[in-house]
């Protein structure tokens, strides 16, 4: 028996041997949680792999994986890897046109997709993708009359026949796998240019998974909810890498809209979410709290004040006065416990956030009600594994210490450089990019500007290439300003401009949920986003937010010059379908600046109102024109206080 | 991509010379048409043309003064709602008729009412047959919930849902009865474009997956022409056109009725 545990298929077989009855995967189907044990998963993967083999899938080939988090899509990744193939998960919400590039770039011949929606997109892309021959689907609904596509059930049935006809073949394929083989190719979201395929090996992801599991003592008894896009490196690390290293249980939600409910039902012990998700959860709670009776509201307010005062300290194990401790204990009984339960976080031991900066209030809120929320730092090229915050050393403005086996240093221009077993093998078919991103000593250039503080914690300031200078030479870190703005619940997105200019101006997107609710409580009528965004009351609301961050910036040394002088609220939400955001919802700064050049001119040209018309593209490819007259607001700025002598 | 060749089968419903009047008001005059198994049959016409009356005649809410209705070979003067439901005809309403205070799940469960055989006492003490039936019915309901993608509102009271979703819940309740014929009264009225597209997809999916025969009333010509196999056109209670969408589109009487005609 093969005792090596250096590829994912071998890890799967290992779990099937050691803990055959332990739940490996759950999915809510027809309202009931279905469970597959490790031995059942091993059997399912075997059937999928043999089916692919029967249809001609061979070593080194790429298998596209497209859909929401479904067990059989996770298993498909293992099936491809068992045959020495490479899984290529893709963002499921992209339109067909976007798939064409990636499918061609990865020379996809086989695609395992979720449902009719994805099959339609594959068939639409197929004429432009010469290699694409085999399309398999999980959910047969609406696909009865489709030709030349095949269901997973049929695929697995063919696989079982193939397996019987070729005894020992499957095991021999797994035995051929090497730890340095590429296991997965993840496409970077492409803030700049076309997406690049990042080739990561079994060894890299297993190292990252093992490092994380040891660091946080994750075992097979843990349980997580797998609800983030499968094409995202974070999900691949948590729901795949660590899943197979630790042997815990992944739970697939019923649908994208039921995640809140599913979270409560499962009660995971380990949880990962970008700040946006934590923010949405909090907003939901706050909106419900405002509708609650006065006694409940009073209790909530009182004990949240207690939690703010001492909750985070109690979680970090710091000394706290006995009176506060008693109050906190009572609060835990009456408010925090029930609240954690509503959030589905009663059993959480460790929660991580990453992908973007998290607001101070948000971060403190979760920690103060006893949820061990921590930050981590990493990118696709490093298996999302560079820095982790150790328990008891959680700081808001840092992303933690270098993780085990990671070698980190700060290079020229403050750029963060890392080296370790988790690095990418290469960018697929892009040797120039590969050479550019890894220096002679084997350090990967993260492209983030950061610094190490006295305790050895890494603090990220901005993207190295985004850090610019104002006309007077002062540092201009747009992300830093935008994040400050986005920490207000009313502001969903912000884009700051200022490089080579004399002052900073910004575009704002309001948060429809939060501002909509605010307007409703004030009896302010509106017809939609465009209308609401241009209400004088809303503009005043946003101006207050801007002025508040200006006051903060005034006290932050060199950044005092980055106060936002003028701003406008955009007439539409920035959207990945219009190429304004990446699929991971990061602003494509250059594109936005070009597209809305006329608005920037208006901001800097001193105009009070500017007319704009924009073409909006819907998910199904239809388009529509949105036009509006945008009012430009001037915000109060403050004299710099506490400016350090240069 | 999606195939539009449906397995239209035998005629299962034939209406012959139906006339319906309320006092002196003639709602329907001498109307005849048929519905084939598995097809999507649309009834269109301007306001007050008699579309809803036609549907009410089919499921027995109104009793026509003249004419006959032949359903699955059985010829009668009129239907009655109970018999219609028992023989596999389900419907939705123009103005949503759900229990607003009850959850989506409970509303859809009421669609299974006719399938429940256990009596009140058995259900009250929750044993044997009652329990088995409830499980079986719940499973069916969950399939419908999955089919119409409304898992996220399973426990939400219907009154709190937006209009488009309520329409979907109503369709779910009708589907839960596992009908062989489904009457849809303006399933897309008052919906926005996206909701209409969703609804069209569900109607086509239901038809494809379960082979359910559909009779639908619709205002939106675009929708009708896209999804129906055959269309009946009514105007002032009379039939002025009948045929495939293309035939109806070319019919001069229909064009006049919809676009108006110079006198």
- The Cα A231–Cα A65 span in angstroms is 8
The residue among B178, B212, B228 that closes a domain is B178
Same domain, yes or no: B117 and B168: yes
Q: Of A375, A421, A380, which Cα lies nearest the Cα of A401? A: A375
- The Cα B17–Cα A626 span in angstroms is 51
A351 within 8 A of A345, measured Cβ to Cβ: yes
- The Cα B162–Cα A35 span in angstroms is 34
The position carrying tokens 């990061």 is: A586
The reply to whether residue B1 touches residue A123, judged by beta carbons under 8 angstroms, is yes
Q: pLDDT tens digits for A130-140? A: 999 999 999 99
Closest chain B CA to residue A121: B1
Give me the pLDDT at residue A180, please.
95
What range does the domain containing A500 cover?
468-634
A241 within 8 A of A54, measured Cβ to Cβ: no
Q: How confident is the model at residue A644 (pLDDT cuts 50, 70, 90)?
A: very low
Q: Of A350, A383, A379, A390, which Cα lies nearest the Cα of A367? A: A350
The position carrying tokens 């405002």 is: A290
Supply φ then ψ for residue B135, to 5 degrees: -60, -45
B25 within a domain of the structure (yes/no)? yes
B208 within a domain of the structure (yes/no)? yes
A630 within 8 A of A609, measured Cβ to Cβ: yes
Using CA atoms, how far residue A578 sits from A339, A370, A491, A588, B84, in Å, is 38, 40, 20, 11, 50
Give me the pLDDT at residue A149, please.
95
The reply to whether residue A30 touches residue B209, judged by beta carbons under 8 angstroms, is no
CATH (domain of A537): 3.30.300.30
B27 within 8 A of B21, measured Cβ to Cβ: yes
Same domain, yes or no: B36 and B57: yes
Same domain, yes or no: B220 and B108: no
Same domain, yes or no: B51 and B172: no
Dihedral angle, C-alpha A117, A123, A129, A133, nearest 10 °: 110
Closest chain B CA to residue A620: B194
On average, the pLDDT of chain A sits at 90
How many of the other CB atoms lie within 10 Å of CB of B54? 27
The position carrying tokens 């045929």 is: B243
B14 within a domain of the structure (yes/no)? yes
Contacts of B144 in chain A (CB under 8 A): none
Contacts of A620 in chain B (CB under 8 A): 197
How many of the other CB atoms lie within 10 Å of CB of A597? 10
- The Cα A592–Cα A458 span in angstroms is 30
In this structure, the strands spanning A401-402 and A387-388 are antiparallel
Quick one: average pLDDT of A221-235? Answer: 94
Interface test with A, best of B103, B142, B151, B197 (most A CBs within 10 A): B151
Q: pLDDT tens digits for B4-54? A: 455 678 888 999 999 999 888 889 999 999 999 999 999 988 888 888 899
3-state SS assignment for residue A252 = strand
Residue A380's Cα: distance from chain center in Å? 11
Contacts of A619 in chain B (CB under 8 A): none
Same domain, yes or no: B9 and B57: yes
Helix (H) or strand (E) holding A506: strand A504-510
Quick one: average pLDDT of A142-171? Answer: 94
The residue among B178, B211, B227 that closes a domain is B178
- The Cα A224–Cα A516 span in angstroms is 33
pLDDT at A392 over 90: no
Give me the pLDDT at residue B4, please.
46
Supply φ then ψ for residue B184, to 5 degrees: -115, 115
Supply φ then ψ for residue A557, to 5 degrees: 55, -125
The residue among B178, B194, B229 that closes a domain is B178
Closest chain B CA to residue A147: B1
Give me the pLDDT at residue B254, please.
83
- The Cα A45–Cα A616 span in angstroms is 42
Query: In sequence order, what are the beta bridge partners of A407?
Result: A419
The position carrying tokens 């003028």 is: A566
Measured in residues, chain B has a length of 263
Using CA atoms, how far residue B236 sits from B26, B57, B100, B220, B239, in Å, is 9, 16, 34, 18, 8
Burial class (CB in 10 A: 0-12, 13-18, 19+), A172: exposed
Q: Tell me the two tokens of residue B150.
A: 């409304």
Contacts of A257 in chain B (CB under 8 A): 151-152
Q: Of A553, A550, A516, which Cα lies nearest the Cα of A533? A: A516
B252 within a domain of the structure (yes/no)? yes
Interface test with B, best of A32, A135, A141 (most B CBs within 10 A): A141
3-state SS assignment for residue A101 = helix
Contacts of A255 in chain B (CB under 8 A): 149, 151-152
A636 within 8 A of A546, measured Cβ to Cβ: no
- The Cα A351–Cα B171 span in angstroms is 40
Helix (H) or strand (E) holding A446: strand A444-452
Helix (H) or strand (E) holding B81: helix B81-86
- The Cα A2–Cα A10 span in angstroms is 8
Using CA atoms, how far residue B247 sits from B230, B242, B254, in Å, is 9, 8, 10
Same domain, yes or no: B129 and B111: yes
Q: Taking chain A, what is the end-to-end CA distance rounded to the nearest angstrom?
A: 67
Beta-carbon-side half-sphere exposure of residue A220 (alpha carbons within 13 Å): 16
Supply φ then ψ for residue A86, to 5 degrees: -125, 130
Min distance A30 CA to chain B CA atoms (Å): 5
Q: pLDDT tens digits for A570-606? A: 999 998 888 888 877 788 888 999 999 999 999 999 8
Contacts of A31 in chain B (CB under 8 A): 138, 142, 145, 151, 154
Same domain, yes or no: B185 and B262: yes
Q: What is the DSSP letter of B103?
A: B
B174 within a domain of the structure (yes/no)? yes
Same domain, yes or no: B171 and B207: no
Q: Of A233, A196, A200, which Cα lies nearest the Cα of A433? A: A196
Closest chain B CA to residue A257: B152
Contacts of A138 in chain B (CB under 8 A): none
A172 within a domain of the structure (yes/no)? yes
Query: In sequence order, what are the beta bridge partners of B74?
Result: B71
3-state SS assignment for residue A369 = coil
B95 within a domain of the structure (yes/no)? no
Q: Taking chain B, what is the end-to-end CA distance rounded to the nearest angstrom?
A: 45
A421 within a domain of the structure (yes/no)? no
The reply to whether residue B152 touches residue A141, judged by beta carbons under 8 angstroms, is no
CATH (domain of A243): 3.40.50.12780
- The Cα A499–Cα A481 span in angstroms is 13
Q: Tell me the two tokens of residue A497.
A: 């401009």
Interface test with B, best of A28, A31, A140 (most B CBs within 10 A): A31
- The Cα A605–Cα A617 span in angstroms is 30
Same domain, yes or no: B59 and B118: no
Min distance B205 CA to chain A CA atoms (Å): 6
Quick one: average pLDDT of A246-254? Answer: 96
Q: How many pairs of residues across A and B have Cβ atoms under 8 Å apart?
A: 42
Same domain, yes or no: B111 and B235: no
The position carrying tokens 């956030």 is: A353
Give me the pLDDT at residue A151, please.
96
Helix (H) or strand (E) holding B173: helix B163-176
B170 within 8 A of B98, measured Cβ to Cβ: yes
B79 within 8 A of B87, measured Cβ to Cβ: no
The residue among A213, A239, A256 that closes a domain is A256
B interface with A, Cβ–Cβ < 8 A, is: 1-3, 138-139, 142-143, 145-147, 149, 151-152, 154-155, 197, 201, 204-205, 208-209
Give me the pLDDT at residue A475, please.
76
CATH (domain of B250): 3.40.50.300
Contacts of A33 in chain B (CB under 8 A): none
Min distance B252 CA to chain A CA atoms (Å): 32
- The Cα A470–Cα A472 span in angstroms is 5
Min distance B166 CA to chain A CA atoms (Å): 17
Contacts of B145 in chain A (CB under 8 A): 30-31
A145 close to B (CB below 8 A): yes
A312 within a domain of the structure (yes/no)? no
Q: Of A145, A85, A144, A149, which Cα lies nearest the Cα of A121? A: A149
Min distance A466 CA to chain B CA atoms (Å): 38
The reply to whether residue B146 touches residue A30, judged by beta carbons under 8 angstroms, is yes
* ipTM for the assembly: 0.75
The reply to whether residue B208 touches residue A145, judged by beta carbons under 8 angstroms, is yes
Contact map slice: A 9-38 vs B, CB within 8 A: 29-32
Same domain, yes or no: B9 and B72: yes
How many of the other CB atoms lie within 10 Å of CB of A276? 15
Closest chain B CA to residue A119: B1
The reply to whether residue B154 touches residue A146, judged by beta carbons under 8 angstroms, is no
Q: Domain count of chain A?
A: 2
A210 within 8 A of A39, measured Cβ to Cβ: no
A211 within a domain of the structure (yes/no)? no
Among A31, A124, A144, the residue with its CB nearest the CB of B142 is A31
Q: Domain count of chain B?
A: 2
B146 within a domain of the structure (yes/no)? yes
Contacts of B139 in chain A (CB under 8 A): 30
Residue B71's Cα: distance from chain center in Å? 16
Q: Which residues contact A506 (CB under 8 A, 6 or more apart)?
A: A481, A482, A485, A494, A495, A496, A497, A546, A564, A566, A567
Min distance A123 CA to chain B CA atoms (Å): 8
Q: What is the DSSP letter of B157?
A: B
Among A124, A141, A145, the residue with its CB nearest the CB of B147 is A141
What range does the domain containing B230 cover?
1-88+181-263
Q: What is the pLDDT along chain B (263 residues), one digit of tens a residue?
A: 344 455 678 888 999 999 999 888 889 999 999 999 999 999 988 888 888 899 999 988 899 999 999 988 888 888 888 888 888 899 888 778 899 999 999 999 998 877 777 777 777 777 777 888 888 899 999 999 999 999 999 999 999 998 889 999 999 999 999 999 999 998 888 888 888 888 898 999 898 888 899 999 987 778 888 899 999 999 888 999 999 998 888 888 888 877 666 55
Contacts of A265 in chain B (CB under 8 A): none
Helix (H) or strand (E) holding A544: helix A536-554
Give me the pLDDT at residue B109, please.
92
B237 within 8 A of B24, measured Cβ to Cβ: no
Q: Tell me the two tokens of residue A102.
A: 């990636």
The reply to whether residue A141 touches residue B142, judged by beta carbons under 8 angstroms, is no
Among B142, B143, B149, the residue with its CB nearest the CB of A255 is B149
A122 within 8 A of A148, measured Cβ to Cβ: no
Q: Of A197, A182, A189, which Cα lies nearest the Cα of A232? A: A189
Min distance B142 CA to chain A CA atoms (Å): 5
Same domain, yes or no: B36 and B5: yes
């Amino acid at each position: 028996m093969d005792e090596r545990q250096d590829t994912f298929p071998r890890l799967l077989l290992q779990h099937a041997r050691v803990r055959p009855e332990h739940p490996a995967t759950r999915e809510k189907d027809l309202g009931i949680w279905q469970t597959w044990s490790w031995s059942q998963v091993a059997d399912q993967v075997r059937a999928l792999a043999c089916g692919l083999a029967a249809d001609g899938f061979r070593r080194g080939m790429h298998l596209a994986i497209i859909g929401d988090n479904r067990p059989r899509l996770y298993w498909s990744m293992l099936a491809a890897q068992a045959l020495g193939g490479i899984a290529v998960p893709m963002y499921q919400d992209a339109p067909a046109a976007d798939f064409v590039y990636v499918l061609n770039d990865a020379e996809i011949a086989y695609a395992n997709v979720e449902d009719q929606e994805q099959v339609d997109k594959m068939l639409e892309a197929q004429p432009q993708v010469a290699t694409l021959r085999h399309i398999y689907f999980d959910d047969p609904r609406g696909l009865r009359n489709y030709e030349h596509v095949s269901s997973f059930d049929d695929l697995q049935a063919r696989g079982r026949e193939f397996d019987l006809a070729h005894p020992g073949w499957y095991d021999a394929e797994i035995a051929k796998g090497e730890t340095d083989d590429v296991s997965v190719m993840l496409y970077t979201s492409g803030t700049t240019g076309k997406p690049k395929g990042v080739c990561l090996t079994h060894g890299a992801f297993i190292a990252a998974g093992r490092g994380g599991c040891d660091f946080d003592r994750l075992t097979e008894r843990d349980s997580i909810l797998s609800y983030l896009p499968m094409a995202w490196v974070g999900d691949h690390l948590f729901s795949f890498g660590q899943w197979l290293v630790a042997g815990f249980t992944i739970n697939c939600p019923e649908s994208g809209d039921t995640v809140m409910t599913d979270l409560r039902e499962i009660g995971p012990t380990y949880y990962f979410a970008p700040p946006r998700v934590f923010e949405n959860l909090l907003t939901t709670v706050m909106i419900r709290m405002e509708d609650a009776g006065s006694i409940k509201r009073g209790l909530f307010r009182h004990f949240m004040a207690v939690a703010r005062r001492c909750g985070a300290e109690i979680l970090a194990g710091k000394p706290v006065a006995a009176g506060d401790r008693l109050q906190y204990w009572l609060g835990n009984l009456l408010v925090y416990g029930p609240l954690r339960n509503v959030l589905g976080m009663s059993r959480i031991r460790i929660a991580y956030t990453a992908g973007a900066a998290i607001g101070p209030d948000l971060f403190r809120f979760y920690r103060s009600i006893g949820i061990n929320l921590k930050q981590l730092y990493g990118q696709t090229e490093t298996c999302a594994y560079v820095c982790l915050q150790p328990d008891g050393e959680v700081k808001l403005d840092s992303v933690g210490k270098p993780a085990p086996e990671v070698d980190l240093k700060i290079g020229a221009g403050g750029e963060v450089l890392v080296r370790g077993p988790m690095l990418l093998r290469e960018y697929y078919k892009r040797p120039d990019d590969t050479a550019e991103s890894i220096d002679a000593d084997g350090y990967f250039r993260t492209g983030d500007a950061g610094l190490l503080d006295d305790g050895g914690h890494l603090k990220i300031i901005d993207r190295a290439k985004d850090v610019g200078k104002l006309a007077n030479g002062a540092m201009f870190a747009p992300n830093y300003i935008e994040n400050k703005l986005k920490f207000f619940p009313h502001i969903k997105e912000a884009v700051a401009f200022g490089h080579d200019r004399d002052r900073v101006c910004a575009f704002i997107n309001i948060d429809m949920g939060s501002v909509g609710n605010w307007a409703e409580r004030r009896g302010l009528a509106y017809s939609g986003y465009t209308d609401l965004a241009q209400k004088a009351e809303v503009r005043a609301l946003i101006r207050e937010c801007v002025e508040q961050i200006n006051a903060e910036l005034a006290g932050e040394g060199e950044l005092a010059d980055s106060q936002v002088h003028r701003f406008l609220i955009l007439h539409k939400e920035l959207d990945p379908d219009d190429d304004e955001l990446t699929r991971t919802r990061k602003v494509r700064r250059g594109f936005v600046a070009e597209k809305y050049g006329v608005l920037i001119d208006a901001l800097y040209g001193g105009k009070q109102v500017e007319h704009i018309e924009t073409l909006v593209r819907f998910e199904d490819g239809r388009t529509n024109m949105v036009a509006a007259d945008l009012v430009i607001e001037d915000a109060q700025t403050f004299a710099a206080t506490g400016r350090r002598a240069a | 991509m999606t195939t539009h060749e449906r397995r239209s089968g035998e005629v299962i419903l034939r209406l012959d010379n139906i006339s319906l009047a309320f006092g002196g008001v003639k709602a329907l005059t001498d109307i005849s048409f048929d519905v084939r198994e598995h097809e999507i049959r649309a009834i269109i016409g301007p306001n007050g043309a008699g579309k809803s009356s036609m549907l009410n005649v089919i499921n027995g809410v109104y009793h026509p003064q003249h004419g006959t209705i032949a359903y699955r070979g059985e010829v009668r003067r009129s239907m009655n709602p109970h018999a219609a439901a028992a023989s596999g005809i389900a419907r939705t309403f123009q103005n949503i008729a759900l229990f607003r205070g009850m959850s989506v799940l409970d509303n859809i469960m009421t669609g299974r009412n006719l399938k429940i055989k256990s009596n009140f006492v058995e259900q009250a003490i929750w044993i044997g047959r009652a329990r088995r039936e409830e499980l079986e019915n719940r499973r069916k309901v969950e399939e419908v919930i999955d089919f119409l993608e409304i898992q996220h509102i399973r426990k939400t009271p219907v009154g709190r849902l937006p209009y488009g979703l309520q329409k979907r819940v109503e369709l779910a309740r009708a589907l839960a009865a596992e009908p062989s014929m489904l009457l849809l009264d303006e399933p897309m009225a008052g919906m926005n474009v996206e909701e209409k597209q969703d609804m069209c997809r569900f109607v086509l999916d239901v038809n494809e997956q379960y082979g359910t025969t559909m009779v639908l009333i619709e205002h939106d010509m675009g929708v009708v022409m896209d999804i129906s196999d055959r269309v009946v056109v009514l105007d002032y209670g009379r039939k002025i056109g009948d045929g495939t969408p293309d035939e109806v589109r070319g019919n001069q009487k229909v064009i006049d009725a919809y676009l108006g005609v110079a006198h």
